[in-house]
Amino acid sequence: MRKSFGRSIVAGISVVLFLCSAVTLSLYQKDRIKGQRLRELAFFPSGRLIKTAVMGYDNFFADIYWIQSVQYIGEHLITNRSFPLLYHIYDVVTKLDPRFIDAYNFGALVLAGYGKNEQSAMSLLRLGIKRNPDNWQIPFQAGFINFTLHNNIEQALHYFKLARSKSDHPRIVDEYIAFLNEKQGNLHLSLKMWKDMYDKTEVPLTRTMCVYNILRLNIKIEEDRLREAVAGFKKKYHHPPDSLDALAKTMYINGYRSILPWKPFEYKPDTGIITAPRLTWQDVARYMSLNDEH
């Protein structure tokens, strides 16, 4: 459970009113910035100034801005999928509470995965590593992002080894290091990592991102398997199979999966070309909804 605060409610309300007044004044002076939510977030004081403004209620306001960050992400996911203020928000949160591990890990995952901003994601994680030198989770997250999202195996190994140097690291860190050293670039390892993260988190946005990448990798693995089977068939019979169903009945493949039942693989029997379905966030939502029902 996050740290509690034992100050009086009256004092806390005073701080809230103080900050709201400051934000309102800034909004009045900067009315060119459009969108109420964007304006409020744009005028968060910097981490250094806010520690003075909150008058000792650091952890309380770190939690408030953490909640704001989730709202900000949700709103931009359904609008423009742009997150220009996200790093600033998490910079504020982690300056207020430097040991807020989830803020580093979740913030970096969203920055790299949804925001496509690897540089900011890694900057946030490096800050977390510096401020929490005994924590294994933050370097593990850095390794996870480097491998699964950017296929940067060298950097991934660097951060996994850093996680392993912490006394309380779990066995899974050693397993990933061993596997990467033996099977660099293996899609199945990446799939395992996303499944592990899905099993370990209860954060809805993180689980959605995990499902997206689990489906993406399953489609890629199945696509490679089908193409290899078609190539083997063509090599022996000098022509492609008539259909994927016909191919599934041969020695070259033991059945096949559509992954997305409503979006099967496309196959052209005259050329033997296989086209994988294009995965969208709508597909992810539909997949999760169907699986929740069962």
pLDDT in tens, 195-237: 888 887 888 888 888 899 899 989 999 999 899 989 988 888 8
> Does residue 54 lie within any of the structural domains?
no
At residue 141, the pLDDT reads 94
> Does residue 166 lie within any of the structural domains?
no
> Does residue 242 lie within any of the structural domains?
yes
> Does residue 1 lie within any of the structural domains?
no
Q: How many CB atoms lie within 10 A of CB 137?
A: 19
Full-model pTM = 0.62
| Structural domain of 274 | 230-293
> Does residue 258 lie within any of the structural domains?
yes
- State which residues of the chain have pLDDT below 50: 1-38, 40-43, 293-294
At residue 12, the pLDDT reads 45
At residue 47, the pLDDT reads 53
Q: Which two tokens stand for residue 191?
A: 């799939």
Q: Domains in the chain: how many in total? A: 1
Burial of 247 (0-12, 13-18, 19+ CB in 10 A): buried
Q: How far apart are CA 205 and CA 183, in angstroms?
A: 30
Q: Which two tokens stand for residue 52?
A: 């003075």
> Does residue 91 lie within any of the structural domains?
no
At residue 46, the pLDDT reads 58
Q: How many CB atoms lie within 10 A of CB 114?
A: 20
> Does residue 243 lie within any of the structural domains?
yes
> Does residue 244 lie within any of the structural domains?
yes
Q: How many CB atoms lie within 10 A of CB 271?
A: 9
CB–CB of 121/111 below 8 Å?
yes
